[in-house]
Structure 1
Amino acid sequence: MTDPGLPLLFLDVDGPLIPFGAPPPGGYPTYPGPGAGPSGNPLVARVDPGLGPRLLALPCQLVWSTTWLTDANACLAPRLGLPRLPYVDWPDTDLPGDGSTLHAQLHWKTSTLVAWAAGRRFVWVDDEITPADRRWVEANSPAATLLHRVDPRVGLTEADFTTVDTWLHAT
Protein backbone atom coordinates (compact mmCIF):
# COMPACT_ATOMS: atom_id res chain seq x y z
CA MET A 1 0.00 0.00 0.00
CA THR A 2 1.39 3.39 -0.91
CA ASP A 3 -1.67 5.56 -0.34
CA PRO A 4 -0.31 8.81 1.18
CA GLY A 5 -3.61 9.18 3.02
CA LEU A 6 -3.00 6.02 4.99
CA PRO A 7 -1.12 6.22 8.28
CA LEU A 8 2.33 4.67 8.36
CA LEU A 9 3.14 1.76 10.62
CA PHE A 10 6.83 1.65 11.51
CA LEU A 11 7.57 -1.97 12.43
CA ASP A 12 10.60 -3.14 14.39
CA VAL A 13 11.75 -6.76 14.04
CA ASP A 14 13.66 -7.79 17.18
CA GLY A 15 11.11 -7.89 19.97
CA PRO A 16 7.83 -7.40 18.08
CA LEU A 17 8.38 -10.15 15.46
CA ILE A 18 11.26 -12.12 17.03
CA PRO A 19 10.59 -12.52 20.75
CA PHE A 20 13.61 -12.69 23.03
CA GLY A 21 14.72 -12.20 26.62
CA ALA A 22 12.82 -14.65 28.76
CA PRO A 23 11.56 -17.74 26.96
CA PRO A 24 8.41 -19.40 28.22
CA PRO A 25 8.77 -22.83 29.82
CA GLY A 26 9.84 -25.20 27.07
CA GLY A 27 11.37 -22.41 24.99
CA TYR A 28 10.03 -20.15 22.29
CA PRO A 29 7.73 -21.65 19.69
CA THR A 30 9.29 -22.02 16.27
CA TYR A 31 7.65 -22.16 12.86
CA PRO A 32 8.89 -23.76 9.64
CA GLY A 33 9.31 -21.52 6.66
CA PRO A 34 11.74 -19.60 4.48
CA GLY A 35 14.80 -18.14 6.15
CA ALA A 36 14.75 -20.49 9.13
CA GLY A 37 16.92 -23.26 7.70
CA PRO A 38 20.49 -24.14 8.63
CA SER A 39 21.97 -21.39 6.45
CA GLY A 40 19.61 -18.70 7.76
CA ASN A 41 19.36 -16.78 11.00
CA PRO A 42 18.14 -19.32 13.61
CA LEU A 43 16.04 -16.65 15.33
CA VAL A 44 13.89 -16.26 12.20
CA ALA A 45 12.19 -19.54 13.11
CA ARG A 46 10.54 -17.62 15.98
CA VAL A 47 8.67 -15.38 13.51
CA ASP A 48 5.08 -16.57 13.35
CA PRO A 49 4.02 -16.50 9.68
CA GLY A 50 0.46 -15.87 10.90
CA LEU A 51 1.48 -12.31 11.81
CA GLY A 52 1.79 -11.38 8.13
CA PRO A 53 -1.91 -11.54 7.25
CA ARG A 54 -2.72 -9.70 10.49
CA LEU A 55 -0.31 -6.90 9.55
CA LEU A 56 -1.66 -6.70 6.00
CA ALA A 57 -5.22 -6.39 7.33
CA LEU A 58 -4.37 -3.18 9.19
CA PRO A 59 -5.42 0.03 7.39
CA CYS A 60 -1.93 1.48 7.06
CA GLN A 61 1.27 1.46 5.03
CA LEU A 62 3.81 -0.89 6.58
CA VAL A 63 7.42 0.32 6.83
CA TRP A 64 10.35 -1.62 8.26
CA SER A 65 11.85 0.32 11.18
CA THR A 66 14.76 -1.94 12.00
CA THR A 67 18.49 -2.34 11.65
CA TRP A 68 17.67 -5.30 9.40
CA LEU A 69 17.15 -2.76 6.57
CA THR A 70 16.89 -4.61 3.20
CA ASP A 71 17.40 -7.96 4.96
CA ALA A 72 13.89 -7.57 6.37
CA ASN A 73 12.52 -7.77 2.82
CA ALA A 74 14.84 -10.60 1.80
CA CYS A 75 14.38 -12.75 4.89
CA LEU A 76 11.19 -11.81 6.72
CA ALA A 77 8.76 -10.55 4.07
CA PRO A 78 8.57 -13.96 2.29
CA ARG A 79 8.14 -15.74 5.62
CA LEU A 80 5.29 -13.42 6.57
CA GLY A 81 3.71 -13.30 3.12
CA LEU A 82 4.39 -9.57 2.89
CA PRO A 83 5.31 -7.67 -0.24
CA ARG A 84 8.63 -5.80 -0.31
CA LEU A 85 8.15 -2.94 2.11
CA PRO A 86 9.85 0.42 2.28
CA TYR A 87 12.35 0.68 5.10
CA VAL A 88 13.86 3.48 7.10
CA ASP A 89 17.48 3.97 6.07
CA TRP A 90 19.07 5.16 9.29
CA PRO A 91 21.56 8.02 9.24
CA ASP A 92 25.20 7.11 9.81
CA THR A 93 25.36 9.41 12.82
CA ASP A 94 22.94 10.60 15.44
CA LEU A 95 20.85 13.56 14.47
CA PRO A 96 21.89 16.70 16.30
CA GLY A 97 19.94 17.29 19.48
CA ASP A 98 18.93 20.43 21.21
CA GLY A 99 21.17 19.72 24.19
CA SER A 100 18.23 19.01 26.48
CA THR A 101 18.09 16.15 28.93
CA LEU A 102 14.97 14.89 27.18
CA HIS A 103 16.74 14.65 23.82
CA ALA A 104 19.57 12.69 25.45
CA GLN A 105 16.98 10.14 26.68
CA LEU A 106 15.42 9.57 23.26
CA HIS A 107 15.68 6.29 21.46
CA TRP A 108 18.04 6.65 18.51
CA LYS A 109 15.15 5.97 16.07
CA THR A 110 12.73 8.61 17.37
CA SER A 111 13.66 11.80 15.54
CA THR A 112 14.41 9.92 12.31
CA LEU A 113 10.94 8.35 12.31
CA VAL A 114 9.25 11.72 12.78
CA ALA A 115 11.31 13.15 9.92
CA TRP A 116 10.60 10.10 7.71
CA ALA A 117 6.85 10.41 8.35
CA ALA A 118 7.00 13.98 6.98
CA GLY A 119 3.79 15.05 8.67
CA ARG A 120 1.84 11.82 8.10
CA ARG A 121 0.00 10.03 10.89
CA PHE A 122 1.95 7.05 12.15
CA VAL A 123 2.15 4.13 14.52
CA TRP A 124 5.54 3.01 15.79
CA VAL A 125 5.64 -0.59 17.04
CA ASP A 126 8.84 -1.33 18.96
CA ASP A 127 10.01 -2.89 22.21
CA GLU A 128 12.23 0.04 23.25
CA ILE A 129 9.81 2.99 23.31
CA THR A 130 10.05 5.13 26.45
CA PRO A 131 8.05 7.98 27.99
CA ALA A 132 10.75 10.38 26.71
CA ASP A 133 10.05 9.21 23.14
CA ARG A 134 6.32 9.73 23.62
CA ARG A 135 6.80 13.28 24.95
CA TRP A 136 9.23 14.22 22.18
CA VAL A 137 7.02 12.85 19.39
CA GLU A 138 3.96 14.57 20.86
CA ALA A 139 5.85 17.88 20.84
CA ASN A 140 7.48 17.43 17.43
CA SER A 141 5.09 15.55 15.16
CA PRO A 142 2.41 17.65 13.48
CA ALA A 143 0.27 14.54 12.95
CA ALA A 144 -1.46 12.08 15.23
CA THR A 145 0.83 9.29 16.42
CA LEU A 146 0.69 6.08 18.41
CA LEU A 147 3.91 4.84 19.94
CA HIS A 148 3.11 1.27 20.92
CA ARG A 149 5.59 -0.67 23.03
CA VAL A 150 5.58 -4.45 22.60
CA ASP A 151 6.84 -6.82 25.29
CA PRO A 152 9.95 -8.35 23.67
CA ARG A 153 9.57 -11.55 25.69
CA VAL A 154 6.34 -12.44 23.84
CA GLY A 155 6.31 -10.32 20.66
CA LEU A 156 3.14 -9.08 19.00
CA THR A 157 -0.01 -10.35 20.69
CA GLU A 158 -3.74 -10.14 20.07
CA ALA A 159 -3.89 -7.23 22.53
CA ASP A 160 -1.22 -5.36 20.53
CA PHE A 161 -3.15 -5.83 17.28
CA THR A 162 -6.36 -4.66 18.98
CA THR A 163 -4.68 -1.49 20.29
CA VAL A 164 -3.10 -0.64 16.93
CA ASP A 165 -6.22 -1.47 14.89
CA THR A 166 -8.44 0.56 17.21
CA TRP A 167 -6.14 3.59 16.90
CA LEU A 168 -5.89 3.26 13.11
CA HIS A 169 -9.67 3.17 12.76
CA ALA A 170 -10.13 6.12 15.14
CA THR A 171 -7.73 8.53 13.37
Structure 2
Amino acid sequence: MAPGPLIYLDVDGPLIPFGLEPSLYPLFGPSPRDDENPLLGRLDPSHGPRLKALPGELVWATTWLHDANDALAPRLGLPRLPVMDWPEPSDTDEADARIGLHWKTRPLLEHAQNRPFVWVDDEISEIDRDWTSGHHAGPALLHRVDPRHGLTGADYRALGEWLRETRRS
Protein backbone atom coordinates (compact mmCIF):
# COMPACT_ATOMS: atom_id res chain seq x y z
CA MET A 1 0.00 0.00 0.00
CA ALA A 2 1.29 3.47 -0.91
CA PRO A 3 2.10 5.86 1.94
CA GLY A 4 -0.69 8.22 2.93
CA PRO A 5 -0.80 11.93 2.24
CA LEU A 6 1.57 14.33 3.95
CA ILE A 7 0.11 17.20 5.98
CA TYR A 8 2.50 20.16 6.07
CA LEU A 9 1.58 22.36 9.00
CA ASP A 10 2.54 25.98 9.56
CA VAL A 11 2.30 27.38 13.11
CA ASP A 12 2.00 31.18 13.08
CA GLY A 13 -1.46 31.93 11.73
CA PRO A 14 -2.98 28.43 11.55
CA LEU A 15 -2.23 27.28 15.13
CA ILE A 16 -1.28 30.57 16.77
CA PRO A 17 -3.69 33.19 15.42
CA PHE A 18 -2.63 36.81 15.13
CA GLY A 19 -3.85 40.02 13.55
CA LEU A 20 -6.70 40.92 15.90
CA GLU A 21 -6.52 43.02 19.03
CA PRO A 22 -4.61 40.83 21.55
CA SER A 23 -7.42 41.08 24.11
CA LEU A 24 -9.79 39.35 21.62
CA TYR A 25 -7.83 36.08 21.71
CA PRO A 26 -8.74 33.55 24.37
CA LEU A 27 -5.96 32.36 26.61
CA PHE A 28 -5.80 28.58 26.68
CA GLY A 29 -4.37 26.98 29.79
CA PRO A 30 -1.64 28.58 31.86
CA SER A 31 0.19 31.62 30.58
CA PRO A 32 3.55 30.88 28.98
CA ARG A 33 6.53 31.04 31.32
CA ASP A 34 8.83 34.06 31.07
CA ASP A 35 11.33 31.99 29.06
CA GLU A 36 8.65 30.84 26.55
CA ASN A 37 7.21 32.53 23.51
CA PRO A 38 4.35 34.73 24.80
CA LEU A 39 2.16 33.68 21.85
CA LEU A 40 1.95 30.12 23.19
CA GLY A 41 -1.01 31.22 25.28
CA ARG A 42 -3.00 31.49 22.03
CA LEU A 43 -2.37 27.83 21.18
CA ASP A 44 -5.65 25.95 21.57
CA PRO A 45 -4.90 22.42 22.86
CA SER A 46 -8.02 21.11 21.09
CA HIS A 47 -6.04 21.30 17.85
CA GLY A 48 -3.98 18.28 18.92
CA PRO A 49 -6.75 15.64 18.78
CA ARG A 50 -8.18 17.18 15.61
CA LEU A 51 -4.80 17.08 13.89
CA LYS A 52 -4.17 13.50 15.01
CA ALA A 53 -7.57 12.50 13.59
CA LEU A 54 -6.64 13.68 10.08
CA PRO A 55 -5.78 10.73 7.82
CA GLY A 56 -2.23 11.63 6.88
CA GLU A 57 1.31 12.14 8.14
CA LEU A 58 1.79 15.42 10.02
CA VAL A 59 4.99 17.37 9.28
CA TRP A 60 5.97 20.71 10.80
CA ALA A 61 6.42 23.21 7.94
CA THR A 62 7.27 26.27 9.99
CA THR A 63 10.10 28.61 10.86
CA TRP A 64 9.74 27.25 14.40
CA LEU A 65 11.70 24.25 13.05
CA HIS A 66 12.53 21.74 15.81
CA ASP A 67 11.25 24.16 18.48
CA ALA A 68 7.77 23.12 17.30
CA ASN A 69 8.37 19.68 18.79
CA ASP A 70 9.73 21.12 22.03
CA ALA A 71 7.25 23.95 22.62
CA LEU A 72 4.09 23.04 20.70
CA ALA A 73 3.76 19.26 20.45
CA PRO A 74 3.53 18.72 24.25
CA ARG A 75 0.88 21.46 24.60
CA LEU A 76 -1.12 19.83 21.80
CA GLY A 77 -0.66 16.26 22.96
CA LEU A 78 1.17 15.41 19.73
CA PRO A 79 4.16 13.13 19.39
CA ARG A 80 7.39 14.54 17.99
CA LEU A 81 6.74 15.15 14.30
CA PRO A 82 9.06 15.27 11.32
CA VAL A 83 10.28 18.82 10.66
CA MET A 84 10.94 20.50 7.32
CA ASP A 85 14.53 21.67 7.27
CA TRP A 86 14.46 24.69 4.99
CA PRO A 87 17.31 25.20 2.53
CA GLU A 88 19.56 28.24 2.68
CA PRO A 89 18.30 31.19 0.62
CA SER A 90 19.43 31.12 -3.01
CA ASP A 91 19.11 33.05 -6.27
CA THR A 92 16.08 30.90 -7.05
CA ASP A 93 14.35 32.30 -3.97
CA GLU A 94 14.85 35.84 -5.25
CA ALA A 95 13.41 34.91 -8.64
CA ASP A 96 10.48 33.16 -6.94
CA ALA A 97 9.82 36.22 -4.77
CA ARG A 98 9.68 38.43 -7.89
CA ILE A 99 6.84 36.31 -9.30
CA GLY A 100 5.10 36.02 -5.91
CA LEU A 101 5.90 32.36 -5.23
CA HIS A 102 6.13 31.61 -1.50
CA TRP A 103 9.61 30.59 -0.34
CA LYS A 104 8.20 27.34 1.11
CA THR A 105 6.58 26.13 -2.11
CA ARG A 106 9.58 24.60 -3.92
CA PRO A 107 11.03 22.89 -0.82
CA LEU A 108 7.65 21.36 0.06
CA LEU A 109 7.21 19.94 -3.43
CA GLU A 110 10.75 18.56 -3.38
CA HIS A 111 10.09 16.94 0.00
CA ALA A 112 6.73 15.50 -1.08
CA GLN A 113 8.31 13.78 -4.11
CA ASN A 114 4.94 13.58 -5.88
CA ARG A 115 3.18 12.10 -2.84
CA PRO A 116 -0.27 13.52 -2.15
CA PHE A 117 -0.07 16.39 0.32
CA VAL A 118 -1.92 19.14 2.09
CA TRP A 119 -0.15 22.38 2.97
CA VAL A 120 -1.84 24.36 5.75
CA ASP A 121 -0.56 27.94 5.92
CA ASP A 122 -1.83 31.51 6.13
CA GLU A 123 0.37 32.84 3.32
CA ILE A 124 -0.63 30.61 0.40
CA SER A 125 -1.62 32.42 -2.81
CA GLU A 126 -3.04 31.50 -6.21
CA ILE A 127 0.51 31.74 -7.56
CA ASP A 128 1.54 28.91 -5.21
CA ARG A 129 -1.47 26.85 -6.27
CA ASP A 130 -0.82 27.39 -9.98
CA TRP A 131 2.88 26.61 -9.64
CA THR A 132 2.13 23.46 -7.65
CA SER A 133 -0.40 22.20 -10.19
CA GLY A 134 2.26 22.56 -12.91
CA HIS A 135 5.14 21.01 -10.96
CA HIS A 136 3.63 18.28 -8.76
CA ALA A 137 2.40 15.01 -10.27
CA GLY A 138 0.37 13.95 -7.23
CA PRO A 139 -2.75 15.45 -5.69
CA ALA A 140 -2.13 18.56 -3.59
CA LEU A 141 -4.35 20.82 -1.52
CA LEU A 142 -2.89 24.19 -0.59
CA HIS A 143 -5.23 25.27 2.20
CA ARG A 144 -5.03 28.91 3.27
CA VAL A 145 -6.08 29.66 6.85
CA ASP A 146 -7.27 33.08 8.03
CA PRO A 147 -4.48 34.13 10.44
CA ARG A 148 -6.88 36.22 12.52
CA HIS A 149 -8.77 33.11 13.60
CA GLY A 150 -6.46 30.16 12.96
CA LEU A 151 -7.76 26.71 12.08
CA THR A 152 -11.53 26.44 12.48
CA GLY A 153 -14.03 23.61 12.35
CA ALA A 154 -14.70 24.45 8.69
CA ASP A 155 -10.98 24.11 7.94
CA TYR A 156 -10.81 20.71 9.64
CA ARG A 157 -13.86 19.52 7.71
CA ALA A 158 -12.37 20.62 4.38
CA LEU A 159 -9.01 19.03 5.17
CA GLY A 160 -10.59 15.78 6.36
CA GLU A 161 -12.85 15.47 3.31
CA TRP A 162 -9.99 16.09 0.88
CA LEU A 163 -7.66 13.67 2.68
CA ARG A 164 -10.29 10.91 2.87
CA GLU A 165 -11.18 11.35 -0.82
CA THR A 166 -7.49 11.30 -1.79
CA ARG A 167 -6.91 8.08 0.16
CA ARG A 168 -9.85 6.44 -1.67
CA SER A 169 -8.48 7.41 -5.10
Render the CA deviation track for 1:118-170: whole Å, top value 9, x for unaligned: 11100000000000000000000010000000000000000000000000011
Instruction: Point out where structure 1 has 5 or more consecutive residues left out of the alignment.
Output: none
Name the structure 2 match of 1:59. 55
Q: Kindly indicate whether the alpha-carbon contact (under 8 Å) linking 2:8 and 2:119 is maintained by their aligned counterparts in 1.
A: yes
1:41 to 21, 37, 40: 37
Could you tell me how far 1:60 is from its partner in structure 2?
0.3
Name the structure 1 match of 2:124. 129
Name the structure 2 match of 1:161. 156
CA gap 1:143/1:77 in 2 versus in 1, 3 angstroms: same
Name the structure 2 match of 1:15. 13
Q: Kindly indicate whether the alpha-carbon contact (under 8 Å) linking 2:97 and 2:103 is maintained by their aligned counterparts in 1.
A: no
Could you tell me how far 1:103 is from its partner in structure 2?
6.8
- Structure 1 residue 50 and structure 2 residue 46: aligned? yes
Report the count of equivalent residues: 166
Secondary structure, aligned partner of 1:56: helix
Instruction: Point out where structure 2 has 5 or more consecutive residues left out of the alignment.
Output: none
Calculate the TM-score normalised by the size of structure 2: 0.91
Q: Kindly indicate whether the alpha-carbon contact (under 8 Å) linking 1:8 and 1:122 is maintained by their aligned counterparts in 2.
A: yes
Q: Kindly indicate whether the alpha-carbon contact (under 8 Å) linking 2:55 and 2:164 is maintained by their aligned counterparts in 1.
A: yes
Could you tell me how far 1:94 is from its partner in structure 2?
3.5
1:92 to 84, 88, 93: 88
Name the structure 1 match of 2:109. 114
Q: Kindly indicate whether the alpha-carbon contact (under 8 Å) linking 2:10 and 2:121 is maintained by their aligned counterparts in 1.
A: yes
Name the structure 1 match of 2:70. 74
C-alpha distance in 1 between matches for 2:120 and 2:16: 13
Render the CA deviation track for 1:69-128: whole Å, top value 9, x for unaligned: 00000000000000000011001113627x6x8972100000110001011100000000
- Structure 1 residue 32 and structure 2 residue 29: aligned? yes
- Cα RMSD over matched residues? 2.1
Q: Kindly indicate whether the alpha-carbon contact (under 8 Å) linking 2:13 and 2:121 is maintained by their aligned counterparts in 1.
A: yes
Could you tell me how far 1:23 is from its partner in structure 2?
3.4
C-alpha distance in 1 between matches for 2:132 and 2:103: 13
Residue 135 of structure 2 aligns to which amino acid in structure 1? N
C-alpha distance in 2 between matches for 1:27 and 1:116: 37
Calculate the TM-score normalised by the size of structure 1: 0.90
Off by >6 Å, runs of 4+ in structure 1: none
CA gap 1:96/1:152 in 2 versus in 1, 3 angstroms: same
Secondary structure, aligned partner of 2:34: coil
Secondary structure, aligned partner of 1:10: strand
